[in-house]
A and B are shown apart, each in its own frame.
Chain A
Amino acid sequence: MAGHSPSEGWIGASLLRKEDARHLLGHGMFIADVRMPGMQDVAFVRSQMAHAAVRQVNKPEGQAANVFTLADLGALNILEAGPELAAHRHSPYPALADDRVRYAGQPVAACLAPTRAQAEDLADQVQVELDELPAVVDCVEAMKPGSPRLFDAWSDNAYITSTVSEGDAVFIAGAPIRLRRQFRMNRQATVPLECRGCLAYWDHRNDELVVHLSTQGGHVIRLGLSQALGLPENKLRIIAPDVGGGFGGKNRLMPEDIAVAAIALKVGHPVRWIEDRREHLLASIHCRDHFYDLTISADRDGTLLGVEGDVYIDAGAYSLWPTGSFMEASMASRNLTGPYRIRHLNLKTYTVATNKAPMGPYRGVARPGACFAIERLVDEVARELGREPFDLRRQNIVTSGELPYQTAAGMRLDTGDYIVSLDTAREMIGMEAIRERQQKGEPDGRAIGLGFAFYTEQSGHGQIEWVKRKSRVVPGYESANVRMLPDGSVMLHVGVQNHGQGHETTLSQIAAHELGLDPSRIQVRYGDTATAPFGFGTFGSRSIVFAGGATARTCRILAEKIQRIGAHLLQTEVANTRIEGGAVHGPHGSVDFSEIAYAANVRQEHLPAGMDPLLDATATYEPSETSGVFAYGTHAVVVAVEPDTGVIEILDYAVSEDCGTMINPLIVDGQVQGGIAQGIGTALYEEIPYDEQGQPLATTFGDYMVPCAPEIPTVRVAHLVTPALVTEYGVKGLGEGGAIAPPAALANAVADAFRHIGASFNETPLTPRRVSDAVERARRDFDPLNMGRRR
């Protein structure tokens, strides 16, 4: 851990990461690395059709015992998923298909064999007889009367619809500027480099089912899995090994995991399933897939007044436990005012069931779509008025004097200075120089464009917010347990689930800060329900706020007791002592933690009278106000676009962001850059199209484009620091922000490159074909008298 001196303090230190050691040597232990004697592998037989009645599953001769259908799994409970709203419809999702399959790739049977290759051989011999039903593949068409329905008990294909109505619809109907646009953010997958996987076996000594699971939150999964299996939670242990990325894709109860657990309960040996990449693209969580039909209203002076319209979420065939996917529609609609003073909001949302893989959360969750829509609309209004899009943003954005600001959609923007962020990004990207460059034209004939997008990222939202969302499970707190062992070394157990975020480092920095110790003396543990205090896992940019806070709280409890013991051993008053450098210091000497801990654990006669032994504290934590804290930032990007091929090159990318106090700036930068890479993926590369029969058209990396180093520039990041007021140290979560703004910024940049012909780019990914076609359309429709505005 080079380059840091303890006197500088641990909060804000760019401490090099502890978790690097094992990964650099290849000693990480991921789910596929976990081996149990007698382990056998599962391969799933999956539906070839998007929508069908299952007539029969024919098992090959002599292998019936190794092929499991739903009936062979034993009694299982189907969990109701989604918000606890009467209006939210139940989409029963069995672990293996019952009499109906509803997406191509839905697991129908599980084949068990000594190796995965043999399990696949067996799966090839299983015949599934399906009677095809018409497939529902368009979420707007799916809501029309007469559309085939996924669930016979439903009157239409909506999981739930909702309306958001704020302000005065009549007033904005009369606004001088009203622009209607449609935006589409196409379906993609989460694509962590490590696919999902689970390994289950009955542990006879502990009389429990052990499930090793590549997950973002074992405790919540345990809750769900126990309900599904009908197994009490105290007989179910979930162990997360090293997890190779999640991004939301490993945070729901999934049918394969239930099936594997159920099989493990039936056979006498460990059962494993390692998802392969084709399965992942086919049947793991899909995401994004939003369609917006919106009208923005504004005054002639550029004041943005209101947003109205429809929000469609193509949510796939089933709700995933616990959350379902209404969150997409609700978060999208609540973010459609962006950071602007837009007071009128009139939206109808439709969360629609289609014959596609179930939708789940993915870094940013709904906000990339909402940001795309509102930021594109701002640029469209700017173009309509002949104004610089940057200036229109600056004019309408909430100022620091107005914070905290309650948006029309009920989000309480807390602290920050959005204008400074905008101005900093503008300076970093060199807007004036870009405008000059654009005047000159490029020798290679490419068009240069500059785009901005602003985002806010809600994090640290707790009880108030989740209750508002009618969550089935309210992740409103986190827990930590810290204990000092007899030799003075420290164990910190937390309920979040590090999977790349560097918690072993950042949480030990916080513990070190509170305990006056070096982070190297603190072991951070997580991921095993047997030892981790109850927590909700890592998602939604929550960990530093919640687990950081819980760590701080428990360590303070411990520090206080350490100090009292130390004072007692030093025969002085507590007020005369301080904690520093792993010791309690008094006026006439000091006593090392090791001595204090030894006393507390194994020599209790040395403790103050009446004090309980042990140095072991467990506490929960939630912020003092739980409506959330908001990281925010401005993305600015310069592109060069070849108009005929439609190929986009990113020339420069700058971000001015504010996530409050940074515990570890090195890790913050890593999250920003990593989030942006995924945002660029959404903006330019990643998509799973479906044909009319509901067949997905990208099921390997041959068709599903994941950007690599040549495609992703190094982003220049400037940090502002406006601490939050309601969290420990003033931290805000930031893990998702990088992924929220790139589609908007890039689409705005490409639109800027072709603003002289009024081309619009309102669909992601901005593939070369889409870009070129949009340019061509605009060239054809261009009316010079209308100065680039659309007809």
Chain B
Amino acid sequence: MKPAPFEYVRPKTVAEASVTLGRRGVNTAAIAGGQSLMPMLALRVALPDLVVDISRLEDLKIVTRTPDSVWLGALTTHAAIEDGETPDVFNGLMRAIAGQISYRAVRNHGTIGGSVALADPAADWPVFLSTFGATLRIVGRNGVRVQSIDDFIQGPYETTLTTGDIIMGFDIPAPPRSFRWGFSKVARKSGAFAHSLAVVVAAGKGGPVKAVLGAAGPKPRMLIATAAQLEIPDSSEEEVRAAIKADLNAYFGDLDDYQKRMHTANVLHAARKMRAQ
């Protein structure tokens, strides 16, 4: 399984990369970690004429923290997050998510920007970013724009990226210190793509709850009824279950019976973990 031939270029700046990626009449692909692109090249389902290496652009590696938020450059690797090299204002949630994406050797190179740009419906980071209302900064032919993750991801493998666009990074609002979380993933084996991915977070006891479900539909969706139910102190598991079912029916129209059971159980599992924290 060898890739079809392509040209390779390594621009020195983000601006140069954007221009190169946007070249008319040339099929281009950006390569960052390469962990998703390489299999596609090997299988010849991706057939770029030109591969643009953005993996060394320092401007995409900036990681900063403010009192209210964390900025993660697009080239931040899953392993860096897993290892706690990025600010952990999420009480370990980001580290927990990172640590079970694919396999360690893949995490060493795979990036949060690459994951979001690909927008695989089963990807982990979009669910997390959606939970916290993160925004992306994107640079392109028309300058810089900021977009919420929910607007950015439009469907399976569909984003608002157009040719020449490069994700700079993610602005993630930081939750209050008292925040609790539960994260649960159903996959066929360790490191495989999720069949269900649920994140449930609560800002302290009795505080606002957010629940987001991924791998159930074209993009991650907030589970409104579930969150509302979980905000009610001492609400029973049956009540939470009913709320999840309502959310599934409202937001994920194509699920078969098994998927409904599985997602319900998975969201409930995440909710239990959150409550136990």
* Direct touch of chains A and B (CB < 8 A): yes
A710 with B262: in contact, given A117-B3, A277-B1 (CB under 8 Å)?
no
Count of interface residues, chain B, beta-carbon cutoff 8 Å: 24
Expressed in whole angstroms, the minimum distance between the Cβ of B194 and any Cβ of chain A is: 12
In the complex, chain B residues 163-202 whose Cβ is within 8 Å of any chain A Cβ: 186, 188-193, 195-196
How far is A360 from B211 in the complex, measured between Cα atoms in Å? 49
Q: Which residues of B contact A (CB under 8 A)?
A: 1-5, 39, 43-44, 186, 188-193, 195-196, 257-258, 261-262, 264-266
Q: Are B258 and A772 in contact (CB under 8 A)?
A: yes
24 pairs of residues in contact across A and B, judged by CB atoms under 8 Å: A117-B2, A117-B3, A117-B5, A120-B1, A120-B44, A276-B1, A642-B265, A644-B261, A644-B265, A645-B196, A645-B262, A646-B258, A647-B186, A685-B189, A702-B39, A705-B188, A705-B189, A705-B192, A708-B189, A708-B190, A710-B190, A767-B188, A768-B262, A772-B261
Which residues A608-662 have CB closer than 8 A to chain B? Answer: 642, 644-647
- Asked whether, in the complex, the Cβ of B190 is within 8 Å of the Cβ of A645, the reply is no
Q: How near does chain A come to B96, taking the closest CB pair, in angstroms?
A: 16
- CA of A646 to CA of B261, assembled, Å: 9
Is A208 in contact with chain B by the CB < 8 A criterion? no
- Residue picked from B3, B196, B261, most chain A C-beta under 10 Å: B261
Q: Of A276, A711, A768, A773, which is within 8 A of B186 by CB?
A: A768
Residues of A within 8 A of B264 (CB): 644
Asked if A121 CB lies within 8 Å of chain B CBs, one says: yes
CA distance A115 to B195 in the complex (A): 39
For A765-779 the 0/1 string (1 means CB < 8 A from B) is 001110011001000
- Neighbouring B residues of A776 by C-beta, 8 Å: 257-258, 261
The distance in angstroms between the C-alpha atoms of A646 and B262, with both chains bound, is: 8
Say whether B189 contacts A710, CB under 8 Å: yes
Contact partners of B189 in chain A: CB under 8 A: 685, 705, 707-708, 710-711
5 extra interface residue pairs, beta carbon distance < 8 Å, beyond A278-B1, A711-B190, A772-B261:
A645-B261, A708-B190, A711-B189, A768-B262, A769-B262
Q: Would you call A63 an interface residue if the criterion is a C-beta within 8 Å of the partner chain's C-beta atoms?
A: no
From residue A134, how far is it (CB to closest CB) to chain B in Å?
Answer: 28
Q: For B2, B5, B195, which residue has the most chain A Cβ atoms within 10 angstroms?
A: B2
- Inter-chain contact B262/A772, CB cutoff 8 Å: yes
A277 proximity list for chain B (CB < 8 A):
1
Contact of B266 among A645, A708, A773 (CB under 8 A): A645
Nearest opposing residue in chain A for B5, CB measure:
A121
Which residue of B43, B265, B266 has the most chain A CB atoms within 10 A of its CB atom?
B265
The CA of A776 and the CA of B258, in the complex, are separated in Å by 9
Could you tell me how many residues of chain A have their Cβ less than 8 Å away from some Cβ of chain B?
28
| B residues near A301, Cβ cutoff 8 Å | none
Chain A residues, Cβ within 8 Å of B186 = 645, 647, 768
A768 x B3 contact (CB < 8 A): no
Of A115, A278, A767, A769, chain B has the most CB atoms within 10 Å of the CB of A769
Instruction: Give CA–CA (A647, B188) in the complex, Å.
Output: 8
The answer to whether A645 touches B265, judged by C-beta atoms less than 8 angstroms apart, is yes
Q: In the bound complex, what is the Cα–Cα distance between A644 and B245 (angstroms)?
A: 13
Give bound CA distance, A276 to B264, whole Å: 39
**B261 and A685 contacting across the interface, CB-CB below 8 Å:** no
Q: Tell me the smallest distance from the CB of B184 to a CB of chain A, in Å.
A: 10
Distance between Cα atoms of A116 and B1 in the complex (Å): 8
| 4 shortest interchain CB distances as A-B pairs | A117-B2, A644-B265, A710-B190, A644-B261
Indicate with 1 or 0, residue by residue over A106-139, a CB within 8 angstroms of chain B CB atoms: 0000000001110011001000000000000000
CA A647 – CA B191 in complex, angstroms?
15
B107–chain A nearest beta-carbon distance, Å: 15
Residues of A close to B192: CB separation below 8 A: 705
**Which residues of chain B come closer than 8 Å to A642, judged between CB atoms?**
265
Which among A120, A646, A711, A772 is the interface contact of B2 at CB below 8 angstroms? A120
List residues of chain A with CB within 8 A of the CB of B193.
702
| Residue-wise interface mask of A (669-693) relative to B, using a CB-CB cutoff of 8 A (1 in contact, 0 not) | 0000000000000000100000000
Chain A residues with CB below 8 A from B261, complex form: 644-645, 772, 776
Q: Is the CB of B44 within 8 A of A124?
A: yes
Bound CA–CA A646/B263 (angstroms): 11
Chain B residues whose CB sits within 8 angstroms of the CB of A705 once the complex forms: 188-189, 192
With a cutoff of 8 Å between Cβ atoms, the chain B residues found around residue A646 in the complex are 258, 262
A702 vs B189: C-alpha distance when bound (angstroms): 11
Q: Does A406 contact B (CB under 8 A)?
A: no
Q: Which residues of B contact A786 (CB under 8 A)?
A: none
- Distance in angstroms between the alpha carbons of A705 and B193 in the assembled complex: 11
Q: How far is the CB of A26 from chain B (nearest CB, A)?
A: 17
Closest chain A CB from B248 CB (angstroms): 13
Residue of A nearest to B47 (CB): A124
Closest to A765 in B: B188
Tell me, yes or no, whether A576 is within 8 Å of chain B by CB.
no
